[in-house]
């Protein structure tokens, strides 16, 4: 026996499929119901959200070599700022932002650091938040947790990651991470990487008035708990232990500042399945908010 029913023709829905949704990061079109941009892998939720809001979110690039502590920093940043303070308030937007905070805190509870971010752009967390500094108006900021390996591959032309270039093109500021412990012990892979990033940014085409030399860049010496002198004067620390990086920053960039940051008080290492994993021996975040606060003030 057959039964008849009336189905509404959802023409609006079809129209959405016809009109492409432009990715917020790379600007290329995607079908309306796709989760991620098929060109760069950025979540399309950012674009949908930007369309619905009057204020367009500002992009901030957080870049550094592998294992410099970017994910740990971003997770701790949103954890600290989500506690109301007089200076700054932050509201996480979207599932991704909570995800990075949750992963970081969960790892710390188990005496571990967060797992390294996968090079697969579909696995990246995108920190999207509303920031309010000293009761001024709310600013929307998007700060993706990019994989250090992906950035490395993009810089070396090994594997193209269009999202990295698109992000750098649109970002209004950047946080560059260097491992304080490594540069203090003479291992300079990290500062060479950072120098590559700075040259890459400064070589990007575009309006010279809005080029990277004129955008604010915070250089954060991460894992500074292992080099206490870094906290005393991060600027002097970089000048002493990474003179090439110091020279490049001071000559190529106009708006820059050096910071020291750490999350763990000290670390040991566990040999697990043949891999040496860092184990935080205590959690005492220090210098986490300062770079973000400086950058927020500079981006106005």
Partner 1 sequence: MAHIQTIFLRWSIGVLCVAGSLFGGLSHNWLMASTGLVVGLCCIAIFSAPVRLPTTVMVSVPEPRVIQQKMERIGSNLGGSDSARLAAELIKNDRYALLLRRELFASLGPQAGKGAAEALLDNMQRITTGPIAFATNVYGITGDVSYEPVEIPAFYVDKFLVTNVEFQRFVHAGGYGDESLWSREALVCMSSLVDSTGKPGPRFWSDSVFPEGLDLFPVVGISWYEANAYARWVGKRLLKDPEWVRAGTVAGVVTPEATARRTSGKDDEQTRFGWSRAPLADSPTPIDTSTPNSGGNGIQQLVGNVWQWTDDDFGMWEDPANRLETDCAMKYLRGAAFDTYFDSESATCFLSADGLLARKRNIGFRCAITEADIVNSLNHVGMSEGTKA
Count of residues making up the chain: 300
Interface pick for partner 1 out of 95, 122, 159, 270 (rule CB under 8 A): 270
Cα–Cα distances in Å, from 155 out to 161, 252, 284? 9, 18, 34
Burial tier of 297 (Cβ tally within 10 Å: 0-12, 13-18, 19+): exposed
Residue 182 CB, nearest approach to partner 1 (Å): 12
On whether the CB atoms of residues 140 and 58 are closer than 8 A, the answer is yes
Least distance in Å: CB of 226 to partner 1? 8
**Taking the alpha carbons of 179, 180, 182, 183 in that order, is the dihedral positive or negative?**
positive
Instruction: Please select the residue that binds partner 1; options are 28, 50, 155, 279, rule is CB under 8 A.
Output: 279
| Residue range at the interface with partner 1 (CB under 8 A); choices 65-73, 141-149, 201-209, 283-291 | 283-291
Candidate ranges 114-122, 132-140, 159-167, 268-276; the one touching partner 1 (CB under 8 A): 268-276
Measured distance CA(119)–CA(273) in Å, rounded: 21
Q: Does 282 bind partner 1 (CB under 8 A)?
A: yes
- CA-nearest of 36, 42, 31 to 167 is 42
Among candidates 153, 149, 156, 122, which has minimal Cα distance to 43? 122
80 CB neighbour count, 10 Å cutoff: 17
Least separation in angstroms between residue 244's CB and partner 1 is 25
C-alpha–C-alpha distance, residues 120 and 128, integer Å: 19
Q: Which residue has the tokens 């057959």?
A: 2
- 13, two tokens: 């829905």
Question: What binding mask, one character per residue, do residues 67-106 give for partner 1 by CB under 8 A, x or -?
Answer: ----------------------------------------
Nearest Cα to 225, choosing from 175, 270, 280, 177? 280
Answer yes or no whether residue 228 interacts with partner 1 by CB under 8 A. yes
Applying CB under 8 A, the span of 145-153, 212-220, 238-246, 276-284 interacting with partner 1 comes to 276-284
| CB nearer partner 1, residue 109 or residue 205 | 109
d(CA 28, CA 295): 28
Smaller CB separation from partner 1, 120 or 185: 185
Footprint on residues 102-141 left by partner 1 (CB under 8 A): 108-111
Block residue for tokens 């500002």:
58
> Minimum Å distance from CB 232 to partner 1?
9
Least distance (Å) between residue 109 CB and partner 1? 8
Nearer to partner 1, 51 or 281 (CB): 281
Closest alpha carbon to 151 in 141, 162, 143, 138:
162
Q: Is 259 within 8 Å of 175 (Cβ atoms)?
A: no
Closer to partner 1 by Cβ: residue 285 or 291: 285
122/281 with CB nearer partner 1: 281
Residue placing its CB nearer to partner 1 in the complex, 243 or 265: 265
d(CA 44, CA 33): 9
- Does the protein bind partner 1 through residue 284 (CB under 8 A)? yes
Q: Of the two residues 201 and 289, which places its CB atom closer to partner 1 in the complex?
A: 289
Verify binding: residue 20, partner 1, rule CB under 8 A.
no
Binding site for partner 1 (CB under 8 A): 108-111, 228, 265-266, 268-272, 276, 279, 281-286
């Amino acid at each position: 026996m057959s039964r008849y029913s009336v189905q509404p023709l959802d023409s609006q829905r079809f129209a959405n499929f016809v009109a492409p949704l432009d990715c917020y990061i790379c600007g290329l079109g995607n079908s309306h119901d796709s989760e991620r941009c098929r060109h760069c892998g950025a979540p399309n939720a950012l674009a949908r959200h930007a369309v619905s809001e009057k204020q367009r979110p500002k992009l901030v690039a957080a870049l550094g070599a592998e294992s410099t502590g970017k994910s740990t920093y971003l997770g701790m940043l949103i954890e600290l700022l989500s506690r109301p303070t007089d200076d700054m308030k932050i509201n996480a937007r979207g599932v991704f932002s909570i995800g990075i905070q949750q992963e970081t805190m969960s790892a710390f509870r188990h005496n571990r650091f967060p797992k390294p971010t996968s090079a697969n752009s579909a696995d990246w967390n995108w920190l999207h938040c509303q920031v309010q500094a000293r009761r001024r108006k709310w600013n929307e900021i998007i700060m993706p947790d990019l994989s250090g390996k992906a950035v490395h591959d993009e810089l070396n032309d090994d594997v193209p990651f269009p999202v990295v270039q698109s992000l750098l093109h649109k970002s209004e500021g950047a946080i560059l991470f260097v491992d304080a412990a490594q540069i203090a012990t003479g291992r300079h892979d990290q500062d060479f990487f950072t120098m590559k990033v700075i040259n890459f940014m400064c070589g990007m085409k575009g309006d010279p008035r809005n080029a990277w030399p004129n955008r604010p860049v915070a250089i954060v010496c991460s894992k500074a708990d292992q080099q206490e002198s870094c906290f005393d004067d991060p600027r002097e620390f970089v000048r002493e232990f990474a003179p090439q990086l110091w020279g490049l920053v001071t000559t190529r960039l106009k708006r820059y500042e050096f910071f020291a940051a750490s999350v763990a008080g000290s670390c040991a290492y566990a040999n697990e399945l043949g891999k040496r994993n860092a184990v935080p021996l205590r959690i005492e975040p220090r210098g986490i908010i300062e770079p973000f606060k400086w950058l927020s003030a500079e981006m106005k």
